[in-house]
Structure 1
């Protein structure tokens, strides 16, 4: 068994990143876990991913243990009881220094990993990537049954909005807000010499999975309202991503007679997304239950003012009137879009604000905070005496 390091011992850790989700499925949790794994490996740690989706045993140089069993229709994650036995066997066999569990809205594997860690005396940190709104009663029952708020797990959330939604599960336990990380210099690279088009159309861009939770239909309706009565070609909307809402979006665009002003290129690589962001003027995101808004942060890093909902977790790194416009409702969201389409001077003013470097979100700042959480979790288990055999 590995001797548990202390906060005075900066030696490399054996870390398991555990989640229901991972690549090749594409989403915010999956990409954040991939980037976190690579960053931790660069910092000298040994990292392995344990997940419930099918795929290769290694990706981007990351070792992956994929839990066996039938996959849940519509989600693609393993879900039978044997999955949990396999998870316990994998964790028990490899003697990790710490488990870092990543939770989304659908997270049976993540929750079982937390419960097993508490019972077995394994240091663990749990990060919540979703806003668990309307889940208060189930979360309170989970805490009552499994004692989340009374255990040694270190809880983190990707935003203050996500942290607040966790309270029924964590009660008065500390929840550290650690933002999602990005490679800030990579996204900002070339911004100073970019020449964005100064003539119409004003290019508005959104990056998201085209699913109901992200409210792409609302974004298209707001765009239609924003350009109502404006000259043809005043603005264009590009929605990057794929999902089952694409057909509905095309129907809405046709109904409003704006099909020529909307582009749906599908899912794109990060390089291609960055290229689109660099030649755009505004980033737009209409989702309400946005735990963080990593795509909005990437847009901001590329120098774009952001239009989004005030209730979004993105409000942690956005400032209304400085680098963003935050809306209280859908009507105000559409009005914000129209103002940025029609007022070039104000749009330029917000773009100047967006060009400032957002603090605390680069991986060089985010990774050390997670390392501190890992070592604190190890210390809590040592102090509790609940050390695994």
Structure 2
């Protein structure tokens, strides 16, 4: 199969969504498929919407492929281009949805705009690959489109660790070692994490922040000011973006991975932390509940609530036996999770179905289940 993958910017960008796209490209190529990566220039939202008028970009996405995969992150540019591409020739289009912009916290006018544009974009594709059931629910709330769930894997490091090693680590004397892994942007909730930790005694915790400040320099600067204002400079370390080897070391030394996001479509970082036996502090907003079971493999907290962060960390710091049990459960969750190969197989089967449907000479009716929604493909 010849596949085109359209994304914003550089496919090598170090975020969970781009890692998902890269692993998918690698997996399809290993199966013998030809994959052409089509990188569009990064845009702010308004400028992206104007891309729909660009014949140059239209020519770029009009690739000689059997199916066109698109990262939904690029939907501002693609919503208009797809409509023009359909008018030019019939090509199956499938979108990869990590999370919808309209699912994030925004002022109502902006949220309404994002919702309207994403609804139009989703209405113009033939299928959607979602990273979690929560993401699929948000997609189906906006548009009638065939979907599948193909979750990301967390085997980036695949460390060798057993329950005895997890227990030995948590029994070490000293404060609870918390690690945050994610871009320094408001959605990841680093400010909530720091405010919550600051409510605990100095000797109870240390925070290691791993992530690039470049995505939102203004927010990154506000975090530095927050740390200084709360007087916790000596307990928070900013490591910046780390290469895999250094990140492996940081995770192996930690007790808990905390990323209390206001929304996550999935959150690969949680699963990667679990591979080291780290319980996750996540939130109830979005898809984290697919991998984080409250009280078992971590805690699901209210988004934007420093108090719940403080209570969760206090619990784990004071009860090291429970911390060890949750770390072991987290590692078991990771071990049982689908691999990238299994995820790629699921995506490939979905693409086969979409391509086969597009080749039928007559339009098929939408078959609906008793709820009135189209039947799902996949779990």
Return 5+ residue gaps in structure 1 as ranges: 1-12, 54-70
Helix, strand or coil at the partner of 2:360? helix
Distance 1:100 1:210, change over 3 A: same
Return 5+ residue gaps in structure 2 as ranges: 364-379
Which residue does 1:44 correspond to in 2? Answer: 32
Residue pair 1:237, 1:261 contacting (<8 A) in 2 also: yes
Displacement after TM superposition at 1:110 (Å): 3.7
Cα distance in 1 for partners of 2:85, 2:126 equals 8
Residue pair 2:129, 2:150 contacting (<8 A) in 1 also: yes
Which residue does 2:373 correspond to in 1? Answer: none
Cα distance in 1 for partners of 2:53, 2:275 equals 39
Cα distance in 1 for partners of 2:150, 2:203 equals 41
Cα distance in 1 for partners of 2:43, 2:69 equals 23
Asked if 1:311 is matched to 2:285, the reply is yes
Cα distance in 2 for partners of 1:270, 1:124 equals 33
Asked if 1:325 is matched to 2:295, the reply is no
Cα distance in 2 for partners of 1:247, 1:118 equals 44
Displacement after TM superposition at 1:140 (Å): 4.8
Which residue does 2:57 correspond to in 1? Answer: 87
Cα distance in 2 for partners of 1:177, 1:114 equals 23
Which residue does 1:345 correspond to in 2? Answer: 321
Asked if 1:224 is matched to 2:198, the reply is yes
Displacement after TM superposition at 1:160 (Å): 2.0
Residue pair 1:206, 1:238 contacting (<8 A) in 2 also: yes
Q: How does 1:214-293 map to 2 (within 5 A)?
A: 214-225=188-199, 227=200, 230=201, 232-243=202-213, 244=217, 245-293=219-267
Identify the range of structure 1 (270-279 vs 327-336) with the bigger mean alpha-carbon deviation: 327-336
Asked if 1:115 is matched to 2:115, the reply is no
Distance 1:140 1:383, change over 3 A: farther
Distance 1:141 1:350, change over 3 A: closer
Which residue does 1:10 correspond to in 2? Answer: none
Residue pair 2:204, 2:317 contacting (<8 A) in 1 also: yes
Which residue does 1:364 correspond to in 2? Answer: 341
Which residue does 1:62 correspond to in 2? Answer: none
Helix, strand or coil at the partner of 1:350? helix
C-alpha distance after superposition, 1:206-249 (max 9, x if no partner):
11110112221111111112x2xx3x432111110122233222
Cα distance in 2 for partners of 1:137, 1:80 equals 15
Which residue does 2:15 correspond to in 1? Answer: 27
Distance 1:21 1:169, change over 3 A: farther
Cα distance in 2 for partners of 1:72, 1:99 equals 21
Displacement after TM superposition at 1:301 (Å): 1.8
Q: Give the count of matched residue pairs.
A: 344
Cα distance in 2 for partners of 1:81, 1:136 equals 21
Cα distance in 2 for partners of 1:187, 1:24 equals 18
C-alpha distance after superposition, 1:78-105 (max 9, x if no partner):
776488423332343x41111111112x
Displacement after TM superposition at 1:152 (Å): 6.2
Root-mean-square deviation (Å)? 2.8
Which residue does 1:63 correspond to in 2? Answer: none
Helix, strand or coil at the partner of 2:226? helix
Normalised to the residue count of structure 2, the TM-score between the two structures is: 0.81
Residue pair 1:84, 1:112 contacting (<8 A) in 2 also: no
Please state which structure has a larger fraction of its residues in helix: 2
**Residue 100 of structure 1, aligned match among 32, 56, 69:** 69
Helix, strand or coil at the partner of 1:40? helix
**Residue 269 of structure 2, aligned match among 277, 295, 320:** 295
Helix, strand or coil at the partner of 1:126? strand
**Residue 177 of structure 1, aligned match among 117, 129, 149:** 149
Cα distance in 2 for partners of 1:32, 1:300 equals 18
Distance 1:91 1:107, change over 3 A: closer
